[in-house]
Amino acid sequence: MTPRVAVVGSGPSGIYAADALIDQGVEVDVFDRLPTPFGLVRYGVAPDHVSIRSVRDTLDKVWDKAGVRFLGNVQVGRDISVEELRRSYNAVVLTYGAAADRRLGIEGEDLPGSVAATDFVAWYTGHPDYRGPDFARLLSSTRRVAVIGVGNVAVDVVRVLSKSEAELSETDMPDYVLETLRDAPIEQVTLLGRRGPVQASFTTKELKELGELAEADVRVRADELDLDPWSEEQLANSKVAQRNLAVLTEWLGRDTRPDAQRTIDLRFFVRPESLGGRTHIESITVERTNLDDEGRLSGRGEFERLDVDLVVRSVGYRGEAMPGVPFDPTSNVVPNVDGRVTDSGGDLVPGLYVAGWIKRGPTGIIGTNKKCAVGTVASLLEDLPSLPVPAGASDVGQLLNDRGVEVVTIEGWRAIDARERDRGQERGRPRQTIASRDELMEIAGTTPST
Ligand code: NAP
């Protein structure tokens, strides 16, 4: 009998895993809690990064292959358990990612106007389950923003907040997002790195883009580019850090443009100490920092208060536990050996695998997940001959139907895809993301218009 595998999550890792399995003659069902596939490619990659988002077109081709099905709008752990999947398939691969935000643990973190980057990203990409802060209201009176963290997500946030209407007009953002960003009176966005420019985790291409915006001037401080001995040593061993520092140094000598609408300030060696405000964010206090000879961070006892209306905390994503699946709460991943899930005693859980961010943590670019997923699939294929044949009913579709779960198939996604393209074209854009889950479900029940 043809082996069957369930993949939980249809982001890049899930699709790369499915693709590698189908190529080996395995039948694959890919589950997603959303009615649409592609995970962070759709709801993470910034909409103005059109070429990175076009990875979606490559991933989309997998659905044309024989032996793969998409089961959208199915939340594993709620609508069907991992145990039920394990009984119905030869193996289960978990690729559900790391969707939660990490906390800072400082005073004022929960004041209105202090938001997680994960929320801002979900809002501007039109995530159907977005229930976070009301950005239309918040941004209508935001002049100064502090973004904590110097990773690529922080850079995405700064860029989206700083771009002109014309620069954003070719994106697939929902209309309400474009209108809110257009009307926001933003004058200054400050990016805060707790360590130095050499330790920043943004990449050079993303950094450079901040200096190429139509309406924003970028500023850095000479004293914050001064390197301590530890950073000098790190710089010598990192081509990315060398390229980043060259870009930052070039910006030091730049003239400001009199017609710039806003400024982007890149700050280093400043860590957030507290957020202040009576009923809403009014300021952030940062402490200047040092790195010692072994790279350890310490405060200098010198504090600075920045007046801001909005704080975006962009300090990384965090994986969460799924019911019935082992979880390591320290590293926030599913414990595994080469993608084979292990329990709390370190023993392998037969037939259960993991790939992507929930396997190794929220790092790397989209392509990193291909290698990661292929590695997990190699482990699975090696084990397959010795895995027990599934004992339970193989018709998971029937089970979900009996439970009243409205499954979105690939035809449903094709209908959504066609409708989004049509909507975009009506507005002179390649696509417009539909954000309402009800609307997505309604369209999924129709026939594609193309
Ligand atoms: P990230 O690269 O891990 O960056 C997190 C940032 O938060 C770091 O600068 C970190 O500083 C800082 N941070 C953590 N805890 C902090 C604290 N308590 N106080 C102050 N700062 C703190 O994470 P990310 O930006 O969320 O990105 C996740 C992954 O997605 C990355 O691999 C990224 O490259 C990728 N991504 C790629 C793109 C792209 O290719 N265009 C776009 C978006 C995301 P320390 O280093 O000091 O800890």
Tens of pLDDT, residue by residue over 279-301, are: 999 999 999 999 999 999 999 99
Question: In the chain, what percentage of residues exceed pLDDT 90?
Answer: 95
Q: pLDDT, tens digit, for every residue of 46-73?
A: 999 999 999 999 999 999 999 999 999 9
CA-nearest of 287, 289, 290 to 228 is: 290
How far apart are alpha carbons 187 and 145 in whole angstroms?
8
Looking at the fold, whether 90 and 110 belong to one and the same domain comes out as no
Nearest 5°: phi and psi at 219? -130, 140
Query: Once rounded to an integer, what is the mean pLDDT over residues 262-280?
Result: 98
Reported as a pLDDT band with limits 50, 70 and 90, residue 393 is low
Residue 71's domain spans which residues?
4-99+319-444
CA-nearest of 322, 346, 331 to 86 is: 322
Q: pLDDT, tens digit, for every residue of 118-167?
A: 999 999 999 999 999 999 999 999 999 999 999 999 999 999 999 999 99
Reported as a pLDDT band with limits 50, 70 and 90, residue 449 is very low
H-helix or E-strand spanning residue 415: helix 410-426
Tell me which of 263, 278, 313 is where a domain ends.
313
Q: Is residue 340 in a domain? A: yes
Whether the CB-CB separation of 196 and 228 falls below 8 Å is answered with yes
Q: What is the pLDDT of residue 160?
A: 98
Looking at the fold, whether 143 and 154 belong to one and the same domain comes out as yes
How far apart are alpha carbons 284 and 342 in whole angstroms?
42
How far apart are alpha carbons 77 and 33 in whole angstroms?
10
Place of tokens 């200047």: 288
CA-nearest of 118, 196, 202 to 152 is: 202
Atom of ligand 1 nearest to the CA of 200: 9
Tell me which of 290, 313, 336 is where a domain ends.
313
Looking at the fold, whether 268 and 335 belong to one and the same domain comes out as no
Residue 391 has pLDDT above 90, yes or no: no
Looking at the fold, whether 24 and 132 belong to one and the same domain comes out as no
Q: Is residue 379 in a domain? A: yes
- 352: three-class secondary structure by DSSP: strand
Q: What is the pLDDT of residue 204?
A: 98
What CATH number corresponds to the domain at position 290? 3.50.50.60
Residue 192 has pLDDT above 80, yes or no: yes
At CA 351, angle to CA 403 and CA 23, rounded to 5? Answer: 90
Whether the CB-CB separation of 210 and 264 falls below 8 Å is answered with yes
How far apart are alpha carbons 277 and 308 in whole angstroms?
10
How far apart are alpha carbons 444 and 413 in whole angstroms?
6
Out of 41, 52, 55, 201, mutate this one to test ligand 1's pocket (max ligand atoms within 8 Å of CB): namely 201
Tell me which of 289, 313, 337 is where a domain ends.
313
Residue 91 has pLDDT above 60, yes or no: yes
Give nearest CA residue, ligand 1 atom 31: 363
Residue 423 to residues 58, 210, 431, Cα–Cα distance (Å): 22, 30, 6
Residue 253 has pLDDT above 70, yes or no: yes
Q: How far is the CA of 67 from the centre of ligand 1 (A)?
A: 37
The residues, any chain, with a CB within 8 Å of residue 118's CB and separated by 6 or more, are: 99, 100, 101, 317
How far apart are alpha carbons 417 and 332 in whole angstroms?
33
**Which of 87-101, 274-288, 386-400, 410-424 bottoms out in mean pLDDT, i.e. has the lowest?**
386-400
Q: What is the pLDDT of residue 389?
A: 84
Q: What is the pLDDT of residue 129?
A: 96
**Predicted TM-score of the model (pTM):** 0.96
Place of tokens 């039109």: 126
Residue 394 has pLDDT above 90, yes or no: no
What token pair was written down for 386?
């010795």
Reported as a pLDDT band with limits 50, 70 and 90, residue 439 is very high
Looking at the fold, whether 10 and 92 belong to one and the same domain comes out as yes
Residue 355 has pLDDT above 70, yes or no: yes
Scored b (16 or more CB within 10 A) or e, 21-46 reads bbeeebbbbbbbbbbbbbbbbbbbbb
Q: Is residue 449 in a domain? A: no
Looking at the fold, whether 343 and 438 belong to one and the same domain comes out as yes
Q: How far is the CA of 109 from the centre of ligand 1 (A)?
A: 18
Residues with Cβ within 6 A of ligand 1? 52, 104, 148-154, 156, 193-195, 199, 201, 206, 271-272, 314-317, 362-365
Q: What is the pLDDT of residue 1?
A: 84
Helices (H), 289-365: 357-360
Query: Once rounded to an integer, what is the mean pLDDT over residues 435-439?
Result: 97
The total of other beta-carbon atoms located within 10 Å of residue 416's CB is 24
Q: How many domains, the chain? A: 2
How far apart are alpha carbons 130 and 133 in whole angstroms?
9
Average pLDDT over the chain reads 96
Residue 89 to residues 34, 146, 192, 214, 325, Cα–Cα distance (Å): 21, 48, 47, 53, 16
Reported as a pLDDT band with limits 50, 70 and 90, residue 390 is confident
Q: What is the pLDDT of residue 450?
A: 43
Q: Is residue 93 in a domain? A: yes
Q: How far is the CA of 108 from the centre of ligand 1 (A)?
A: 21
Place of tokens 């400082």: 106
Q: Is residue 325 in a domain? A: yes
Query: Once rounded to an integer, what is the mean pLDDT over residues 320-344?
Result: 97
Q: Is residue 254 in a domain? A: yes
Q: Is residue 301 in a domain? A: yes
Looking at the fold, whether 107 and 95 belong to one and the same domain comes out as no
Out of 152, 210, 238, 269, mutate this one to test ligand 1's pocket (max ligand atoms within 8 Å of CB): namely 152
CA-nearest of 110, 108, 221, 206 to 159 is: 206
Reported as a pLDDT band with limits 50, 70 and 90, residue 392 is low
- 370: three-class secondary structure by DSSP: helix
At CA 76, angle to CA 96 and CA 61, rounded to 5? Answer: 55
Atom of ligand 1 nearest to the CA of 315: 7
Q: Which burial class, exposed, middle or buried, applies to 348 when counting CB atoms under 10 A from its CB (0-12, 13-18, 19+)?
A: middle
